[in-house]
Structure 1
Protein backbone atom coordinates (compact mmCIF):
# COMPACT_ATOMS: atom_id res chain seq x y z
CA UNK A 1 0.00 0.00 0.00
CA UNK A 2 1.37 3.39 -0.97
CA UNK A 3 1.30 6.73 0.84
CA UNK A 4 -1.36 8.22 -1.45
CA UNK A 5 -3.77 5.40 -0.73
CA UNK A 6 -3.17 5.61 3.04
CA UNK A 7 -3.82 9.36 2.95
CA UNK A 8 -7.13 8.80 1.15
CA UNK A 9 -8.16 6.11 3.62
CA UNK A 10 -7.71 8.39 6.60
CA UNK A 11 -9.26 11.34 4.77
CA UNK A 12 -12.41 9.25 4.24
CA UNK A 13 -12.46 8.01 7.82
CA UNK A 14 -12.13 11.62 8.96
CA UNK A 15 -14.94 12.77 6.67
CA UNK A 16 -17.21 10.04 8.03
CA UNK A 17 -16.35 10.84 11.66
CA UNK A 18 -14.71 14.27 12.06
CA UNK A 19 -14.32 14.14 15.84
CA UNK A 20 -13.76 10.54 16.95
CA UNK A 21 -13.25 9.68 20.60
CA UNK A 22 -13.29 6.77 22.99
CA UNK A 23 -16.62 5.18 23.91
CA UNK A 24 -15.51 5.02 27.53
CA UNK A 25 -17.16 7.67 29.70
CA UNK A 26 -14.64 9.73 31.68
CA UNK A 27 -14.21 13.20 33.09
CA UNK A 28 -10.56 13.33 34.19
CA UNK A 29 -7.29 11.60 33.32
CA UNK A 30 -7.67 9.42 36.41
CA UNK A 31 -11.19 8.36 35.46
CA UNK A 32 -9.92 7.44 32.00
CA UNK A 33 -7.04 5.48 33.53
CA UNK A 34 -9.47 3.53 35.72
CA UNK A 35 -11.77 2.86 32.78
CA UNK A 36 -8.97 1.62 30.54
CA UNK A 37 -7.58 -0.58 33.33
CA UNK A 38 -11.02 -2.14 33.73
CA UNK A 39 -11.59 -2.56 29.99
CA UNK A 40 -9.15 -5.44 29.42
CA UNK A 41 -11.21 -8.38 28.11
CA UNK A 42 -14.39 -6.38 28.78
CA UNK A 43 -16.67 -4.23 26.65
CA UNK A 44 -16.78 -0.46 26.96
CA UNK A 45 -20.49 -0.76 27.74
CA UNK A 46 -19.84 -3.01 30.74
CA UNK A 47 -17.06 -0.72 31.98
CA UNK A 48 -19.27 2.36 31.69
CA UNK A 49 -21.98 0.63 33.73
CA UNK A 50 -19.48 -0.17 36.47
CA UNK A 51 -17.86 3.25 36.55
CA UNK A 52 -21.30 4.90 36.64
CA UNK A 53 -21.60 3.24 40.05
CA UNK A 54 -18.00 3.75 41.12
CA UNK A 55 -17.13 7.33 40.13
CA UNK A 56 -19.90 9.09 42.10
CA UNK A 57 -18.46 7.37 45.20
CA UNK A 58 -14.74 7.50 44.41
CA UNK A 59 -13.09 9.12 41.39
CA UNK A 60 -9.64 10.07 42.71
CA UNK A 61 -6.71 7.90 43.79
CA UNK A 62 -7.24 8.82 47.43
CA UNK A 63 -10.96 8.21 47.07
CA UNK A 64 -10.34 4.68 45.79
CA UNK A 65 -7.90 4.01 48.64
CA UNK A 66 -10.44 5.30 51.16
CA UNK A 67 -13.10 3.08 49.61
CA UNK A 68 -11.02 -0.03 50.25
CA UNK A 69 -10.58 -3.09 48.11
CA UNK A 70 -13.70 -4.95 49.26
CA UNK A 71 -16.04 -2.08 48.41
CA UNK A 72 -14.13 -1.46 45.19
CA UNK A 73 -14.75 -5.07 44.17
CA UNK A 74 -18.46 -4.65 44.90
CA UNK A 75 -18.62 -1.77 42.41
CA UNK A 76 -16.74 -3.56 39.62
CA UNK A 77 -17.68 -7.21 40.17
CA UNK A 78 -19.74 -7.30 36.96
CA UNK A 79 -16.51 -6.95 34.96
CA UNK A 80 -14.34 -9.92 34.06
CA UNK A 81 -11.14 -10.44 36.07
CA UNK A 82 -12.40 -7.93 38.62
CA UNK A 83 -10.34 -9.38 41.50
CA UNK A 84 -7.03 -8.85 39.70
CA UNK A 85 -8.14 -5.49 38.34
CA UNK A 86 -9.16 -4.31 41.82
CA UNK A 87 -5.77 -5.29 43.24
CA UNK A 88 -3.90 -3.52 40.44
CA UNK A 89 -6.05 -0.42 40.80
CA UNK A 90 -5.43 -0.21 44.54
CA UNK A 91 -1.66 -0.54 44.01
CA UNK A 92 -1.77 2.07 41.24
CA UNK A 93 -3.70 4.50 43.44
CA UNK A 94 -1.14 4.10 46.23
CA UNK A 95 1.69 4.92 43.82
CA UNK A 96 -0.20 7.91 42.38
CA UNK A 97 -0.79 9.32 45.86
CA UNK A 98 2.71 8.62 47.18
CA UNK A 99 4.79 9.49 44.11
CA UNK A 100 2.69 11.75 41.86
CA UNK A 101 0.65 13.87 44.28
CA UNK A 102 -2.51 12.06 43.21
CA UNK A 103 -2.09 13.02 39.55
CA UNK A 104 -1.79 10.75 36.49
CA UNK A 105 1.73 11.11 35.02
CA UNK A 106 2.10 12.28 31.42
CA UNK A 107 5.04 10.12 30.32
CA UNK A 108 5.01 6.61 28.90
CA UNK A 109 7.73 5.39 31.25
CA UNK A 110 5.85 6.54 34.34
CA UNK A 111 2.53 5.18 33.14
CA UNK A 112 3.95 1.77 32.24
CA UNK A 113 5.45 1.50 35.74
CA UNK A 114 1.93 1.42 37.21
CA UNK A 115 0.47 -2.02 38.06
CA UNK A 116 -1.81 -3.27 35.29
CA UNK A 117 -0.72 -0.58 32.82
CA UNK A 118 0.95 -1.89 29.67
CA UNK A 119 1.97 -0.20 26.45
CA UNK A 120 -1.54 -0.17 24.98
CA UNK A 121 -3.12 1.38 28.09
CA UNK A 122 -0.36 3.98 28.33
CA UNK A 123 -0.86 4.90 24.68
CA UNK A 124 -4.60 5.39 25.20
CA UNK A 125 -3.99 7.67 28.20
CA UNK A 126 -1.29 9.69 26.43
CA UNK A 127 -3.46 10.12 23.34
CA UNK A 128 -6.93 10.65 24.79
CA UNK A 129 -6.22 12.40 28.09
CA UNK A 130 -3.09 14.34 27.15
CA UNK A 131 -3.40 14.86 23.40
CA UNK A 132 -0.22 13.09 22.37
CA UNK A 133 -0.22 11.52 18.87
CA UNK A 134 0.25 7.93 20.06
CA UNK A 135 -1.52 4.97 18.47
CA UNK A 136 -2.61 2.15 20.76
CA UNK A 137 -3.06 -1.16 18.96
CA UNK A 138 -5.73 -3.54 20.23
CA UNK A 139 -7.27 -6.61 18.55
CA UNK A 140 -9.59 -4.46 16.39
CA UNK A 141 -6.79 -2.25 15.10
CA UNK A 142 -4.48 -5.22 14.59
CA UNK A 143 -7.16 -6.89 12.45
CA UNK A 144 -7.97 -3.77 10.42
CA UNK A 145 -4.33 -2.97 9.73
CA UNK A 146 -3.56 -6.48 8.55
CA UNK A 147 -6.75 -6.92 6.50
CA UNK A 148 -6.56 -3.61 4.72
CA UNK A 149 -2.74 -3.72 4.53
CA UNK A 150 -2.54 -0.21 5.98
CA UNK A 151 0.14 -1.44 8.38
CA UNK A 152 0.50 -5.23 8.36
CA UNK A 153 2.51 -6.86 11.11
CA UNK A 154 2.98 -10.13 12.99
CA UNK A 155 2.34 -8.56 16.40
CA UNK A 156 0.83 -5.41 17.89
CA UNK A 157 4.15 -3.66 18.40
CA UNK A 158 5.12 -4.18 14.76
CA UNK A 159 1.75 -2.79 13.65
CA UNK A 160 2.10 0.18 16.00
CA UNK A 161 5.55 1.06 14.67
CA UNK A 162 4.34 0.88 11.08
CA UNK A 163 1.33 3.06 11.85
CA UNK A 164 3.51 5.69 13.50
CA UNK A 165 5.73 5.62 10.44
CA UNK A 166 3.06 5.59 7.74
CA UNK A 167 -0.01 7.46 9.07
CA UNK A 168 0.13 11.04 7.73
CA UNK A 169 0.89 13.53 10.48
CA UNK A 170 -2.43 15.34 9.99
CA UNK A 171 -4.33 12.17 10.94
CA UNK A 172 -2.06 10.71 13.63
CA UNK A 173 -3.85 12.16 16.66
CA UNK A 174 -7.19 10.54 15.79
CA UNK A 175 -5.98 7.44 13.91
CA UNK A 176 -6.40 5.18 16.95
CA UNK A 177 -10.06 6.07 17.35
CA UNK A 178 -10.91 5.81 13.66
CA UNK A 179 -9.30 2.39 13.34
CA UNK A 180 -10.78 0.94 16.52
CA UNK A 181 -14.29 2.11 15.66
CA UNK A 182 -13.89 0.84 12.10
CA UNK A 183 -12.88 -2.55 13.45
CA UNK A 184 -15.62 -2.58 16.05
CA UNK A 185 -18.52 -1.76 13.72
CA UNK A 186 -17.51 -2.30 10.09
CA UNK A 187 -14.38 -4.44 9.68
CA UNK A 188 -15.67 -6.93 12.24
CA UNK A 189 -13.91 -10.18 13.03
CA UNK A 190 -16.00 -12.93 11.48
CA UNK A 191 -17.65 -11.32 8.45
CA UNK A 192 -16.54 -7.77 7.64
CA UNK A 193 -19.30 -5.44 6.43
CA UNK A 194 -17.54 -4.55 3.20
CA UNK A 195 -20.81 -3.50 1.54
CA UNK A 196 -21.07 -0.47 3.82
CA UNK A 197 -17.36 0.30 4.16
CA UNK A 198 -16.24 3.79 3.14
CA UNK A 199 -12.78 2.54 2.21
CA UNK A 200 -13.76 -0.70 0.44
CA UNK A 201 -12.24 0.28 -2.91
CA UNK A 202 -8.95 1.24 -1.21
CA UNK A 203 -8.74 -1.82 1.04
CA UNK A 204 -6.45 -4.62 -0.15
CA UNK A 205 -8.29 -7.44 1.64
CA UNK A 206 -8.83 -10.15 -1.01
CA UNK A 207 -11.92 -11.82 0.49
CA UNK A 208 -14.40 -8.95 0.54
CA UNK A 209 -18.06 -9.61 1.35
CA UNK A 210 -21.26 -7.97 0.14
CA UNK A 211 -22.55 -7.66 3.69
CA UNK A 212 -23.57 -4.14 4.69
Structure 2
Protein backbone atom coordinates (compact mmCIF):
# COMPACT_ATOMS: atom_id res chain seq x y z
CA UNK A 1 0.00 0.00 0.00
CA UNK A 2 1.26 3.46 -0.94
CA UNK A 3 2.50 5.65 1.90
CA UNK A 4 0.05 8.43 1.00
CA UNK A 5 -2.85 5.99 1.34
CA UNK A 6 -1.52 4.66 4.65
CA UNK A 7 -1.24 8.19 6.03
CA UNK A 8 -4.81 8.97 4.94
CA UNK A 9 -6.11 5.86 6.72
CA UNK A 10 -4.18 6.64 9.91
CA UNK A 11 -5.37 10.23 9.83
CA UNK A 12 -9.03 9.19 9.59
CA UNK A 13 -8.67 6.54 12.29
CA UNK A 14 -6.89 8.94 14.67
CA UNK A 15 -9.75 11.42 14.36
CA UNK A 16 -12.57 8.89 14.69
CA UNK A 17 -11.06 6.97 17.60
CA UNK A 18 -9.04 9.65 19.37
CA UNK A 19 -8.29 8.59 22.94
CA UNK A 20 -9.08 4.91 22.31
CA UNK A 21 -7.62 2.71 25.00
CA UNK A 22 -7.46 -0.91 26.09
CA UNK A 23 -10.96 -2.17 26.91
CA UNK A 24 -9.71 -4.57 29.59
CA UNK A 25 -9.86 -3.27 33.15
CA UNK A 26 -6.59 -3.54 35.07
CA UNK A 27 -4.61 -1.80 37.81
CA UNK A 28 -1.24 -3.50 37.43
CA UNK A 29 0.84 -5.30 34.79
CA UNK A 30 -0.05 -8.61 36.43
CA UNK A 31 -3.79 -7.94 36.26
CA UNK A 32 -3.43 -7.01 32.59
CA UNK A 33 -1.44 -10.17 31.86
CA UNK A 34 -4.13 -12.36 33.43
CA UNK A 35 -6.97 -10.45 31.77
CA UNK A 36 -5.32 -10.72 28.35
CA UNK A 37 -4.85 -14.48 28.71
CA UNK A 38 -8.53 -14.73 29.63
CA UNK A 39 -9.55 -12.62 26.62
CA UNK A 40 -8.62 -15.28 24.05
CA UNK A 41 -11.83 -16.34 22.27
CA UNK A 42 -13.80 -14.22 24.75
CA UNK A 43 -15.19 -10.69 24.79
CA UNK A 44 -13.50 -8.01 26.87
CA UNK A 45 -16.86 -7.30 28.51
CA UNK A 46 -17.08 -10.86 29.81
CA UNK A 47 -13.45 -10.81 30.97
CA UNK A 48 -14.07 -7.58 32.90
CA UNK A 49 -17.07 -9.16 34.63
CA UNK A 50 -14.95 -12.15 35.67
CA UNK A 51 -11.88 -10.17 36.76
CA UNK A 52 -13.96 -7.70 38.76
CA UNK A 53 -14.66 -10.54 41.18
CA UNK A 54 -11.39 -12.43 40.73
CA UNK A 55 -9.09 -9.45 41.34
CA UNK A 56 -10.79 -8.50 44.60
CA UNK A 57 -8.70 -11.26 46.17
CA UNK A 58 -6.40 -12.82 43.56
CA UNK A 59 -4.76 -9.75 42.02
CA UNK A 60 -1.08 -10.53 42.67
CA UNK A 61 1.13 -13.50 41.77
CA UNK A 62 1.41 -14.36 45.46
CA UNK A 63 -2.37 -14.51 45.89
CA UNK A 64 -3.01 -16.31 42.59
CA UNK A 65 -0.45 -18.97 43.47
CA UNK A 66 -2.65 -19.96 46.42
CA UNK A 67 -5.18 -21.39 43.96
CA UNK A 68 -5.09 -24.76 42.25
CA UNK A 69 -5.79 -24.99 38.53
CA UNK A 70 -9.20 -26.46 39.34
CA UNK A 71 -10.10 -23.67 41.77
CA UNK A 72 -9.11 -20.96 39.31
CA UNK A 73 -10.93 -22.79 36.54
CA UNK A 74 -14.20 -22.54 38.47
CA UNK A 75 -13.73 -18.79 38.88
CA UNK A 76 -13.03 -18.12 35.19
CA UNK A 77 -15.39 -20.71 33.71
CA UNK A 78 -17.57 -18.24 31.81
CA UNK A 79 -14.55 -17.01 29.81
CA UNK A 80 -14.41 -20.30 27.91
CA UNK A 81 -11.48 -22.72 27.50
CA UNK A 82 -11.13 -22.34 31.24
CA UNK A 83 -9.10 -25.49 31.83
CA UNK A 84 -6.35 -24.40 29.47
CA UNK A 85 -6.45 -20.77 30.59
CA UNK A 86 -6.31 -21.78 34.25
CA UNK A 87 -3.34 -24.06 33.58
CA UNK A 88 -1.47 -21.30 31.76
CA UNK A 89 -2.23 -18.57 34.31
CA UNK A 90 -1.08 -20.71 37.24
CA UNK A 91 2.06 -21.84 35.37
CA UNK A 92 2.90 -18.28 34.27
CA UNK A 93 2.30 -17.02 37.80
CA UNK A 94 4.71 -19.56 39.27
CA UNK A 95 7.40 -18.57 36.77
CA UNK A 96 6.88 -14.90 37.58
CA UNK A 97 7.42 -15.74 41.25
CA UNK A 98 10.39 -18.08 40.79
CA UNK A 99 12.22 -16.43 37.86
CA UNK A 100 11.22 -12.77 38.02
CA UNK A 101 10.92 -11.95 41.71
CA UNK A 102 7.14 -11.67 41.58
CA UNK A 103 7.20 -8.91 38.93
CA UNK A 104 5.83 -9.22 35.41
CA UNK A 105 8.91 -8.97 33.16
CA UNK A 106 9.28 -5.78 31.11
CA UNK A 107 11.24 -7.61 28.44
CA UNK A 108 9.33 -8.97 25.42
CA UNK A 109 11.39 -12.16 25.16
CA UNK A 110 10.85 -12.92 28.85
CA UNK A 111 7.13 -12.34 28.46
CA UNK A 112 6.68 -14.72 25.52
CA UNK A 113 8.70 -17.32 27.44
CA UNK A 114 5.92 -17.46 30.04
CA UNK A 115 3.39 -20.31 29.66
CA UNK A 116 0.35 -19.26 27.63
CA UNK A 117 1.85 -15.93 26.57
CA UNK A 118 2.15 -15.42 22.82
CA UNK A 119 3.13 -12.35 20.84
CA UNK A 120 -0.32 -10.79 21.08
CA UNK A 121 -0.50 -11.03 24.87
CA UNK A 122 3.10 -9.84 25.26
CA UNK A 123 2.46 -6.86 22.98
CA UNK A 124 -0.68 -5.91 24.91
CA UNK A 125 1.29 -5.90 28.17
CA UNK A 126 4.31 -4.08 26.73
CA UNK A 127 2.12 -1.37 25.22
CA UNK A 128 -0.56 -0.85 27.88
CA UNK A 129 1.31 -1.68 31.08
CA UNK A 130 4.80 -0.44 30.24
CA UNK A 131 4.22 2.20 27.56
CA UNK A 132 6.46 0.51 24.99
CA UNK A 133 5.31 0.95 21.35
CA UNK A 134 3.79 -2.33 20.18
CA UNK A 135 1.09 -3.70 17.90
CA UNK A 136 -0.92 -6.62 19.22
CA UNK A 137 -2.72 -8.49 16.45
CA UNK A 138 -6.03 -9.88 17.67
CA UNK A 139 -8.92 -11.03 15.45
CA UNK A 140 -10.06 -7.44 14.84
CA UNK A 141 -6.63 -6.14 13.88
CA UNK A 142 -6.03 -9.19 11.68
CA UNK A 143 -9.34 -8.79 9.86
CA UNK A 144 -9.30 -5.01 9.39
CA UNK A 145 -5.65 -4.88 8.31
CA UNK A 146 -6.18 -7.54 5.66
CA UNK A 147 -9.41 -6.03 4.38
CA UNK A 148 -7.96 -2.54 4.10
CA UNK A 149 -4.71 -3.80 2.64
CA UNK A 150 -2.88 -1.98 5.41
CA UNK A 151 -0.99 -5.20 6.14
CA UNK A 152 -1.56 -8.49 4.36
CA UNK A 153 -0.86 -11.82 5.96
CA UNK A 154 -2.15 -15.33 6.50
CA UNK A 155 -1.01 -15.34 10.13
CA UNK A 156 -1.13 -12.76 12.95
CA UNK A 157 2.69 -12.65 12.93
CA UNK A 158 2.75 -11.71 9.25
CA UNK A 159 0.18 -8.96 9.80
CA UNK A 160 2.11 -7.68 12.81
CA UNK A 161 5.30 -7.41 10.77
CA UNK A 162 3.43 -5.62 7.98
CA UNK A 163 1.85 -3.11 10.35
CA UNK A 164 5.19 -2.43 12.03
CA UNK A 165 6.67 -1.71 8.62
CA UNK A 166 3.82 0.53 7.40
CA UNK A 167 3.02 2.47 10.59
CA UNK A 168 5.49 4.86 12.27
CA UNK A 169 6.79 3.34 15.51
CA UNK A 170 5.52 6.22 17.64
CA UNK A 171 2.00 5.41 16.41
CA UNK A 172 2.06 1.65 16.93
CA UNK A 173 0.21 1.54 20.24
CA UNK A 174 -2.41 4.14 19.28
CA UNK A 175 -2.98 2.63 15.83
CA UNK A 176 -3.47 -0.78 17.45
CA UNK A 177 -6.36 0.62 19.50
CA UNK A 178 -7.82 2.55 16.56
CA UNK A 179 -7.92 -0.57 14.40
CA UNK A 180 -9.46 -2.69 17.17
CA UNK A 181 -12.26 -0.21 17.77
CA UNK A 182 -12.90 0.13 14.04
CA UNK A 183 -13.23 -3.65 13.85
CA UNK A 184 -15.68 -3.66 16.73
CA UNK A 185 -17.83 -0.75 15.62
CA UNK A 186 -17.73 -0.79 11.82
CA UNK A 187 -15.66 -3.52 10.15
CA UNK A 188 -17.51 -6.44 11.71
CA UNK A 189 -16.56 -10.00 10.82
CA UNK A 190 -19.84 -11.11 9.24
CA UNK A 191 -21.58 -7.90 8.24
CA UNK A 192 -19.13 -5.04 7.81
CA UNK A 193 -20.87 -1.66 7.66
CA UNK A 194 -19.10 -0.61 4.48
CA UNK A 195 -21.74 1.98 3.64
CA UNK A 196 -20.99 3.77 6.93
CA UNK A 197 -17.21 3.38 6.76
CA UNK A 198 -15.11 6.49 6.23
CA UNK A 199 -12.25 4.24 5.11
CA UNK A 200 -14.22 2.74 2.23
CA UNK A 201 -12.46 4.86 -0.46
CA UNK A 202 -9.13 3.35 0.64
CA UNK A 203 -10.30 -0.20 1.31
CA UNK A 204 -9.34 -3.12 -0.93
CA UNK A 205 -12.19 -5.26 0.40
CA UNK A 206 -14.74 -2.55 -0.39
CA UNK A 207 -13.40 -1.98 -3.89
CA UNK A 208 -13.56 -5.71 -4.66
CA UNK A 209 -17.09 -6.22 -3.29
CA UNK A 210 -18.55 -3.07 -4.83
CA UNK A 211 -17.42 -3.31 -8.44
TM-score range, shorter chain: over 0.9
Unaligned runs of 5+ in 2: none
Corresponding position of 2:121 = 121
Higher helix share: 2
Give the Å deviation of 1:74: 2.4
TM-score by length of 1: 0.93
C-alpha separation in 2, matches of 1:125 and 1:36: 8
Asked whether the equivalents of residues 194 and 208 of structure 1 are also in contact (C-alpha less than 8 Å), the reply is no
C-alpha separation in 2, matches of 1:30 and 1:45: 19
Asked whether the equivalents of residues 192 and 208 of structure 1 are also in contact (C-alpha less than 8 Å), the reply is no
Unaligned runs of 5+ in 1: none
C-alpha separation in 2, matches of 1:16 and 1:22: 16
Q: How does 1:135-150 map to 2 (within 5 A)?
A: 135-150=135-150
Corresponding position of 1:28 = 28
Corresponding position of 2:111 = 111
Give the Å deviation of 1:105: 0.3
RMSD of aligned alpha carbons: 1.5
C-alpha separation in 2, matches of 1:50 and 1:188: 25
Q: After alignment, is 22-31 or 163-172 more displaced?
A: 163-172
Q: How does 1:86-101 map to 2 (within 5 A)?
A: 86-101=86-101
Corresponding position of 2:12 = 12
Number of residues of Structure 1 aligned to a counterpart in Structure 2: 209
TM-score by length of 2: 0.93
Give the Å deviation of 1:171: 2.2
Secondary structure class of the residue paired with 2:51 = helix
Corresponding position of 2:176 = 176
Asked whether the equivalents of residues 69 and 83 of structure 2 are also in contact (C-alpha less than 8 Å), the reply is no
Give the Å deviation of 1:66: 1.8
Secondary structure class of the residue paired with 1:78 = helix
